[in-house]
């Protein structure tokens, strides 16, 4: 028997989740009060989980590294959230959302989880509206929808260009209510740096108080990680500056397998890099592709001309040309690669030649500036702020950037990792998006996990824990875990080398972008693995971390994160090297059909779940075979 048991319930796809809920074990209210749950992360997944678990009566502690739960990176999501409501009567259904998500993920996600996601999606919208989330509405007072990449129906709900903000503030408000009621204790400006395991089960965490530097021990009958994605391994990404892999990585090193680490999403519409000082990249929501048209000049000689001076005939609307049925709404991986191809072909625009146009002049002609402004006003303003150019007058320049990580901690149907009692929700797990995520489905997944999945599945586990008394934190395993953290911190501070943490982070990012980014080759990956290993050695010999542990020390925080990113980078490269096929965001140049990803279902229709064996040891790969019982595997086509 394989160690990996995904615990998918028996029965037809359509009834698995209902059956699960009807047959799961329950915890009675009196016992819930005695059970403590740690939720690390207060984004959509963690915030929703914490609020709901507290409503159910559990004692919840939340942790986040920002100064307030409301600032989790989910706040930055712009475009929208999918739900199979079929309010537009355009033929949407749970099955269609399920199918689109599996297909969008290039047939590398688990059917049962994705179906459940599509099933609960409609409830999410109901819940958010009840909380007072001000979604966009039509004149009749009903909810409005827009279309997003990879779908031919209109199922995306939105709140201007600030959907993530409004959804997060909704979850945060639900959390706040529970804080007020005394059911949630918040630990903000706290960074989780270790998982505590007792007798094989997750029983707590070690967190660093980022104001005082104190290392704190916290017990929980179960621990939920909802710590977001690891796109910052590339240094430059659309993620917030603090996004990190540390919590997930510590879990991994404590026995949680890591699923498909190489699946990275490169988003097609970001503001291009402007200089070395650049600290992050800014996303322009994909919703812009609803009305904006993507193009480059047909000929290299036109690249330095002003866009206004390039005639219609000399423009190549390459997405519309190559993918007539989806056009500018082709999925992200495809749109990104097409942009790269155009630029590799010498037809990129802007100073660096690493950009393509996203043009709204037709939309403005067709709809009027006021309508375009109502739809995308804040995005246009943001673009204007950053670049100093007015997108109402001249086309935006965009280029792909790292945006989302489909890989993450491997979880079963219960969202439990391979460590009993340790759960992973939201972007930090690997579960629902296969090799490519469709737009507007991360918000959906985060809230589905937090509001509708975890609260049930965790009860099923905790029903067997009602006799476990809270374990005092002077237990030797807490002691050992705290010592491990302390030693790592002391070791970092003691190096006193010559290069800054950012120097290393940038070097790592460069390696990852060049060899494990939009296009990967066996040869490049072999080279990269050596480079990353060398970088790790160099880091521990030559990094300079200023200040002390016992104070607020952003330099130390960053160093701890970068140390983990370097280790993760190595695993991503191994995973990319192992997967001798192209699928979704993982494009291996050797495996293609004239630029289109060429999957190998015979050999690679599995999830690679990696087991950690020590930093200098080769990890062990476990396979979860993906069985498609309801969907036929096909070549993904958007033509």
Ligand X SMILES: Cc1cc2nc3c(=O)[nH]c(=O)nc-3n(C[C@H](O)[C@H](O)[C@H](O)COP(=O)(O)OP(=O)(O)OC[C@H]3O[C@@H](n4cnc5c(N)ncnc54)[C@H](O)[C@@H]3O)c2cc1C
Chain residues in the site for ligand X (CB under 6 A): 40-46, 63-66, 72-74, 76-81, 163-164, 191-192, 226-229, 238-239, 243-244, 246-247, 283, 285, 403-404, 426-428, 439-443, 446
Among residues 6, 21, 46, the alpha carbon closest in space to that of 425 is found at 46
**Residue 443 binds which entry of ligand X, another protein, none, with Cβ cut-offs from 5 to 8 Å by kind?**
ligand X
Task: Give the residue with the Cβ less far from another protein, 55 or 596.
Answer: 55
**Residue 506 binds which entry of another protein, ligand X, none, with Cβ cut-offs from 5 to 8 Å by kind?**
none
CB of 591 to ligand X, least distance (A): 27
Task: Give the residue with the Cβ less far from ligand X, 229 or 459.
Answer: 229
CB of 419 to another protein, least distance (A): 26
Sheet holding 356-359, edge to edge: 264-270, 396-405, 356-359, 293-297, 315-316
* CA distances, 478 to each of 61, 365, 465, 483 (Å): 17, 64, 19, 9
**Residue 43 binds which entry of another protein, ligand X, none, with Cβ cut-offs from 5 to 8 Å by kind?**
ligand X
Angle subtended by helix axes 111-131 and 16-23, to nearest 10: 70
Task: Give the residue with the Cβ less far from another protein, 137 or 627.
Answer: 137
* Active-site residue, 332 included: yes
Mapping DSSP onto H, E and C, the string for 135-195 reads CCECCCCCECCECCCCCCCCCEECCCCCHHHHHHHHHHHHHHHHHHCCCEEEECCEEEEEE
Please compute Rg for the chain using Cα positions. 24
Task: Give the residue with the Cβ less far from ligand X, 72 or 543.
Answer: 72
What number of H helices and E strands is found in the chain?
A: 18, 23
Q: Is the dihedral of CA 372, 373, 378, 380 positive or negative?
A: positive
Among residues 438, 542, 445, 540, the alpha carbon closest in space to that of 498 is found at 542
CB of 43 to another protein, least distance (A): 11
Task: Give the residue with the Cβ less far from another protein, 123 or 373.
Answer: 123
Among residues 482, 449, 40, the alpha carbon closest in space to that of 244 is found at 40
Alpha-carbon distance 627 to 392, whole Å?
A: 48
Task: Give the residue with the Cβ less far from ligand X, 146 or 598.
Answer: 146
CB of 355 to ligand X, least distance (A): 18
**Residue 325 binds which entry of ligand X, another protein, none, with Cβ cut-offs from 5 to 8 Å by kind?**
none
Task: Give the residue with the Cβ less far from another protein, 169 or 531.
Answer: 169
Task: Give the residue with the Cβ less far from another protein, 434 or 509.
Answer: 509
Angle subtended by helix axes 476-495 and 554-578, to nearest 10: 100
**Residue 377 binds which entry of ligand X, another protein, none, with Cβ cut-offs from 5 to 8 Å by kind?**
none
Token pair for 266: 């490169």
**Residue 26 binds which entry of ligand X, another protein, none, with Cβ cut-offs from 5 to 8 Å by kind?**
none
Token pair for 149: 């990449």
CB of 598 to ligand X, least distance (A): 27
Residues in the chain: 639
Report the Cα 554 to chain-centroid distance in Å. Answer: 24
Task: Give the residue with the Cβ less far from another protein, 527 or 544.
Answer: 544
**Residue 531 binds which entry of another protein, ligand X, none, with Cβ cut-offs from 5 to 8 Å by kind?**
none
User: Which residues are CB-neighbours of 574 under 8 A, at least 6 positions away?
Assistant: 529, 610, 619
Q: First and final CA of the chain: distance in angstroms?
A: 42
**Residue 113 binds which entry of ligand X, another protein, none, with Cβ cut-offs from 5 to 8 Å by kind?**
none
Token pair for 312: 């219609």
DSSP of 380-413, one letter per residue?
A: HHHHHHHHS--TTTS-EEEEEEEEEE--EE---T
CB of 529 to ligand X, least distance (A): 26
SS3 state at 432: coil
CB of 421 to ligand X, least distance (A): 18
Alpha-carbon distance 486 to 480, whole Å?
A: 10
| φ/ψ bin of 228: left (φ > 0), alpha (ψ from -120 to 50), beta (otherwise) | left
CB of 466 to another protein, least distance (A): 22
Please tell me which residue in 108, 293, 332, 599 is annotated as part of the active site. 332
**Residue 60 binds which entry of another protein, ligand X, none, with Cβ cut-offs from 5 to 8 Å by kind?**
none
Closest-CB residue for ligand X?
Answer: 43
**Residue 94 binds which entry of ligand X, another protein, none, with Cβ cut-offs from 5 to 8 Å by kind?**
none
CB of 373 to another protein, least distance (A): 13
CB of 431 to another protein, least distance (A): 20
CB distance 60 to 39 below 8 Å: yes
Alpha-carbon distance 116 to 100, whole Å?
A: 14
Task: Give the residue with the Cβ less far from another protein, 88 or 627.
Answer: 88
Token pair for 232: 């910052």
Question: Would you name the residues annotated as active-site residues?
Answer: 332
């Amino acid at each position: 028997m394989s160690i990996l048991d995904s615990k998918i319930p028996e029965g037809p796809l359509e009834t698995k989740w209902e059956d699960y809920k009807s047959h799961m074990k329950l915890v009675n209210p009196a016992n819930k009060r005695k059970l403590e749950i740690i939720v690390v992360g207060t984004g959509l997944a963690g915030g929703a989980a914490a609020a709901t678990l507290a409503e159910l009566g559990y004692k919840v502690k939340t942790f986040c590294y920002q100064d307030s739960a409301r600032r989790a990176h989910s706040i930055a999501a712009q475009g929208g959230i999918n739900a199979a409501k079929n309010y537009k009567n355009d033929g949407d259904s749970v099955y269609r959302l399920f199918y689109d998500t599996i297909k969008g993920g290039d047939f590398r996600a688990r059917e049962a989880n994705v179906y459940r996601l599509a099933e609960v999606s409609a409830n999410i919208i109901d819940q958010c509206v009840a909380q007072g989330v001000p979604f966009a509405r039509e004149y009749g007072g009903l909810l409005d929808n827009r279309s997003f990449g990879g779908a031919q129906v209109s199922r995306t709900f939105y709140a201007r260009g600030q959907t993530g903000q409004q959804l997060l503030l909704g979850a945060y408000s639900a959390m706040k209510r529970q804080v007020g009621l005394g059911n949630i204790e918040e630990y903000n400006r706290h960074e989780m740096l270790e998982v505590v395991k007792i007798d094989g089960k997750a029983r707590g965490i070690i967190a660093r108080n980022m104001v005082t530097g104190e290392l704190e021990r916290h017990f929980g009958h179960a621990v939920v990680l909802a710590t977001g994605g690891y796109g910052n391994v590339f240094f430059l990404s659309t993620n917030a500056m603090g996004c990190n892999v540390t919590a997930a990585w510590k879990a991994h090193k404590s026995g949680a397998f890591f699923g498909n680490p190489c699946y990275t999403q490169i988003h097609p519409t970001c503001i291009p890099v402007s200089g070395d000082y650049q600290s992050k990249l800014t996303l322009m929501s994909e919703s812009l592709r609803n009305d904006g048209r993507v193009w480059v000049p047909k000929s290299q000689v036109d690249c330095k001309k002003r866009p206004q001076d390039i005639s219609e005939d000399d423009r190549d609307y390459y997405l519309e040309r190559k993918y007539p049925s989806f056009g500018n709404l082709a999925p992200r991986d495809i749109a990104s690669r097409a942009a790269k191809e155009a630029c590799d072909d010498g037809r990129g625009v802007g100073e660096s030649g690493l950009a393509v146009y996203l043009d709204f002049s037709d939309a403005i002609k067709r709809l009027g500036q006021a309508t375009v402004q109502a739809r995308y006003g804040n995005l246009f303003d943001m673009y204007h702020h950053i670049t100093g150019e007015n997108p109402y007058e001249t086309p935006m320049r965009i280029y792909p950037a790292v945006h989302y990580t489909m890989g993450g901690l491997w979880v079963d149907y219960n969202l439990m990792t391979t460590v009993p009692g340790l759960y992973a929700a939201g972007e930090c797990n690997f579960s629902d998006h296969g090799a490519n995520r469709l737009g507007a489905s991360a918000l959906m997944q985060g809230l589905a996990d937090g509001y509708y999945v975890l609260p049930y599945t965790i009860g099923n586990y905790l029903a067997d824990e009602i006799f476990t008394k809270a374990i005092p934190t002077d237990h030797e395993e807490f002691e050992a875990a705290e010592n491990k953290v302390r030693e790592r911190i002391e070791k970092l501070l003691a190096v006193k080398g010559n290069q800054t943490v950012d120097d290393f982070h940038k070097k790592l990012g460069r390696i990852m972008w060049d060899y494990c980014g939009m296009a990967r080759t066996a040869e490049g990956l072999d080279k990269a693995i050596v480079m990353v290993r060398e970088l790790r050695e160099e880091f521990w010999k030559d990094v300079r971390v200023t200040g002390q542990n016992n104070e607020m020390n952003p330099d130390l925080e960053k160093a701890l994160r970068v140390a983990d990113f370097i280790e993760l980078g190595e695993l991503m490269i191994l995973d990319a090297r192992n997967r001798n096929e192209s699928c979704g965001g993982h494009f291996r140049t050797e495996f293609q059909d004239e630029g289109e990803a060429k999957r190998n279902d015979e050999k690679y229709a599995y999830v690679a779940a990696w087991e950690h064996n020590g930093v200098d040891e080769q990890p062990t790969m476990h396979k979860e075979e993906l069985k498609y019982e309801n969907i036929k595997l096909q070549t993904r086509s958007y033509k």
